[in-house]
Amino acid sequence: MAQSDPDLSEFFELGIWAQRARKMKPCPLGDVMKTLNKKDTSVLLAAFDSGQVKPGWIVSWCSRRGAQGLSPTHIVNHRKGVCRCVLGD
């Protein structure tokens, strides 16, 4: 009687997540948003959704509100959803 192969799919699933987490870029935007008030947060979220707002503009906007060390690349990654914000850490 042939024994069915043990199911390893859970390991592969974990591997995919570990791989994704490694590829995900660290992102300071989550921390920036924690420091913003409600109004600024909604403005920023709208800016992310708007294709007309350039990443550099968002960097300037954030630095006016005290956020240092942001780069347009952070904005681009955040928009694409390839930053760690989506993993919730």
Q: Which residues bind Zn ion (CB under 5 A)?
A: 27, 29, 78, 83, 85
Question: What are 88's two structure tokens?
Answer: 């919730």
Complex with Zn ion: residue 4 or 68, whichever CB lies closer: 68
Least spacing, CB of residue 88 vs Zn ion, in Å: 11
Least spacing, CB of residue 38 vs Zn ion, in Å: 19
Give start and end residues of each alpha helix (H) in the chain: 9-23, 29-35, 38-49, 55-64, 72-80
Complex with Zn ion: residue 7 or 49, whichever CB lies closer: 49
Q: Which residues contact 78 (CB under 8 A, 6 or more apart)?
A: 27, 29, 48, 85
Complex with Zn ion: residue 8 or 81, whichever CB lies closer: 81
CB 43 within 8 Å of CB 36: no
Least spacing, CB of residue 28 vs Zn ion, in Å: 8
